[in-house]
Structure 1
Amino acid sequence: MTTPSAAARQPGSARLPPRWFIRSAWVVHRAIYNVTGGRLGLRPPSTKVWGMMRLHTVGRRSGAPRAAIVAYVEDGPRLVTMAMNGWGDPPPAWWLNLQARPAASVDLPGERRNVVAREAQGAERERLWEVFRSLEGGDDLDAHASRRSRETPLVVLEPAPATR
């Protein structure tokens, strides 16, 4: 039995692990980060793979601090991530939090930055989507995205203005 190439796959046909596996991987990733005091679990992006950062938001209803580890790429001084929930249809809670309160902070390897979130639109979104498609595993990006009932938002995290 042969597997079709990425180009020959039908939309939505890219293979994903079961949802329980994805959720377990998130739990393990957070545990590794927490147990090592942040020494493991984050990485900078390269020209071949996305980085991993810890995003800090404020709960839109609770007002409580929230944190999620998400993939990202750099676009000049901006950081860009995809607002996806393991390719499930509902938006991730961190994206809903950012829509309500765009001010946030991120932990990167060796530094913390204050940022302001916005959604990429139009030509900017297309350009950034191509960046994610060019990374390892990006050949399945469109097939994974077609599983969702709506377009996957690309979230741009701009450096926050300096406060005095």
Structure 2
Amino acid sequence: MAPPNNRLMIRALSALHRCLYRATGGLIGGRFGKANILLLTTTGRKTGRKRTTPLLYIKDGDDFVLVASNAGDDRDPGWCLNLKANPHAQVQVGWARTPVTARQASPEEKARLWPRVIDVYPGYDDYATRTSREIPVVILTPDT
């Protein structure tokens, strides 16, 4: 688990990131190096309130692919737990908002997608060595 001060810093930076992304349609906050960033809005599993998190993603056809690394923490990130409780969510890419349904990638899908996410953000490999848990890869399929 991250120390309390780190968690507070991450929350503050995440809130600023959300604000800038929303205000500019992702012009500010829509990229991180080679990675694209989306805003994922889930329903809180405990509160029922909407929770929005900026996350790196890759596309796989029409699907959005996320890595639930939680920076190598031993717990899944809150957004991932929220999706396990309620797989219906929304993504914002640029100005576009899309309703999606989440599922965890199968082992075969993860094996196929992992090299692609590492190409975009090599830090995921480091995160995987920091934790004993299997880091989930989450696939978001746009609702039709």
Q: Percent identity?
A: 30
Match of 1:94 in 2: 79
Is the 8 Å Cα contact of residues 21 and 29 (structure 2) preserved in structure 1?
A: no
Change (3 A) 1:126 1:23: farther
Matched residue of 2:19: which SS?
helix
Match of 2:136 in 1: 153
Query: What amino acid sits opposite 2:106 in the alignment?
Result: Q
Aligned residue for 1:129? 114
Identify the match of residue 64 of structure 1 among 20, 40, 49: 49
- Whether the 8 Å contact between 1:22 and 1:86 is mirrored in structure 2 is no
2:21/2:30 contact within 8 Å kept: no
- 1:38 lines up with 2:23 in the alignment: yes
Report the residue type matching 1:155 in the other structure.
V
1:113 aligns with 2:133: no
Q: Name whichever structure is richer in helix by fraction.
A: 2
Residues 127 and 51 of structure 1: CA distance in aligned 2, closer, same or farther (over 3 Å): same
TM-score, normalising length: structure 2 = 0.83
User: Following the alignment from structure 2 to structure 1, what is the Cα–Cα distance between the partners of residues 17 and 126?
Assistant: 30
The one-letter amino acid of 1:152's match is I
> 1:111 and 1:44 mapped to 2: Cα distance?
16
Which SS does the other structure have where 1:86 is aligned? helix
State the number of aligned residues: 140
Q: Which runs of 5+ in 2 are unaligned?
A: none
Q: Which has the higher strand share?
A: 2
Equivalents in 1 of 2:116, 2:20: separation in Å?
32
Structure 2 CA distance for partners of 1:114 and 1:23, relative to 1, 3 Å: same
1:74 aligns with 2:38: no
Q: TM-score, normalised by structure 1?
A: 0.74
Question: Deviation above 6 Å: which 4+ runs of structure 1?
Answer: none
Q: 1:21 to 1:61 in 2, by over 3 A?
A: closer
Report the CA distance shift for 1:124/1:28 in structure 2 as closer, same or farther (over 3 A). Answer: same
